[in-house]
Amino acid sequence: MNPNDNKNNKNNKPGGNWRGVASLVGWALLLTIIFSYASSVIGSTGRQASSINVEYGEFQEMVESGQVARVEFDNAEDILLITPEEGYSYTAEDGTVYTKTEDGYTYMDAAGQEQTAHLELFTVRIQSNDAVIDFLNEYGVEGVDKEYQAPVNPVLAMLVSYVLPFVLIFLMFSLVMRWMAKKGGMGGMGGIGGVGKVNAAMAAQLLISLYKPDLVLNAGVAGCFENVPIGTLVLAEGFLQHDVDTSPLGDPVGLVSTVNRVIFPTSELEKARAAMDKVGLPYRTGLVATGDIFVNHCDRAHWIHDTFHPLLCEMEGGAVAQVCWRNEVPFMSLKSVSDCVMEDHDFFFNFPTAMKDLNRVVMAFVDALEG
């Protein structure tokens, strides 16, 4: 059987880094816009709930009649915040009279009980700051010079309001992603998606869609068609799916018709070999057969071996390899032998021994790839 002509490996696609960066930038920008909008809405809502808009002419009359104690300049919104003298009375549209006191504004509720409210009087500034200051100084309004602040430079305001939050959110995303990668939390497909090809494929596609990785590394355990020690490390050369069979239509057994392939090769095998050599532990290389069947010493095991001649057999890696191939994302796989499917043994399946050093080896392998 001729499994495949390995066409140009689409997995070695330039620009993978830029896709991941662009995704992070997009999410950071979106969150920055949402946070900025939410902050402005919350701020304006709070102000609207307790603020009273005084006409500018009425404000001038209040100053001239000595009813204003202090004025603050809100240059962000071009308004003047008015603090009246104690005893100043404001009549609302519903007829309620609010009187300024040291603690706020007192008023009588519908039951005739005295209540206290916290109001904020403001007026839209229609003159220059200098003109307003001169006007207030003329009538001896205190505290104006201390409260006045020059308008913030528009460029600086944009940097503080938008650019700085964007940078902080981007850095937070980057640190979280790096931490998750270092912890290996995104690498174990079986651990995330569950057992079997569908679960593994769903997990792989979700990770690729969300995080646009430069490389997907599948690590886990597998049965071996040779009698090797449990825990033997195997660097996968490629994957096939032994339970795919459209041979009645004239296709080779194992052909995945959507992409017309039997074998899905792993990416940059020589680079992966060099990384494993740096790790310094013995390992094998070989083909891996995947299927939704737990294969042990049975007729099926002999059929898989005689048909495809793989070294290993497991239940997830081939699906992950296919998803990566379809998405043009580089893919590597490192397996640890958990059982020997062609031999009779006293044990059936030794997961703890197979996994004993795998996590440590995987992280050393990743470090060697990046080094």
Q: Which amino acid is at 8?
A: N
Q: Which tokens go with 102?
A: 């040291």
- Domains of the chain from N-terminus onward: 54-151 (no CATH), 187-370 (3.40.50.1580)
For residue 211, the SS3 value is: helix
Q: Tell me which DSSP letter residue 126 carries.
A: -
Pairing state between β 233-241 and 216-224: unpaired
- CA nearest 197: which of 249, 244, 261? 244
Do 165 and 37 contact (CB within 8 A), yes or no?
Answer: no
d(C-alpha 151, C-alpha 145), whole Å: 14
Of 144, 100, 93, 142, the closest CA to residue 121 belongs to 100
SS3 57: helix
Q: Which residues of 173-212 are buried (b: 16+ CB within 10 A; e: fewer)?
A: beeebeeebeeeebbbbbebbeebbebbbbbbbebbeebb
pLDDT in tens for each of the 371 residues of the chain? 444 444 344 444 444 445 555 666 666 667 667 766 666 655 554 444 478 889 999 999 999 999 999 888 887 778 888 899 999 998 888 888 999 998 889 999 888 899 988 888 999 988 888 888 888 888 988 655 444 455 566 666 666 666 777 677 767 766 665 555 554 444 333 345 668 899 999 888 888 888 888 999 999 899 999 988 888 999 999 999 999 999 999 999 999 988 999 999 999 999 999 999 999 999 999 999 999 988 877 788 899 999 999 999 999 999 999 999 999 999 999 999 988 888 665 555 677 777 877 878 988 999 999 87
Q: How, if at all, do strands 79-84 and 105-108 pair?
A: unpaired
Distance CA 302, CA 295 (A): 10
Please tell me the pTM assigned to this model: 0.52
Strand partners, 123: 80
| Phi, psi dihedrals of residue 265, rounded to the nearest 5° | -70, 150
Place of tokens 């296709």: 251
- Cβ atoms 341, 297 nearer than 8 A: yes
What confidence tens digit (pLDDT) does each residue in 42-98 have? 555 444 447 888 999 999 999 999 999 988 888 777 888 889 999 999 888 888 899
- C-alpha 302/C-alpha 27 separation (Å) is 50
CB-based contact 301:312 (threshold 8 Å) = no
Residue identified by tokens 């995303």 is: 173
Question: Which 3 state secondary structure label does DSSP give 256?
Answer: strand
pLDDT tens, position by position, 6-49: 434 444 444 444 555 566 666 666 766 776 666 665 555 444 44
Q: Tell me, what DSSP letter sits at residue 251? A: P
Burial 54-78 (b: 16+ CB within 10 A, else e): beeeebbebbeeebbebbbbeeeee
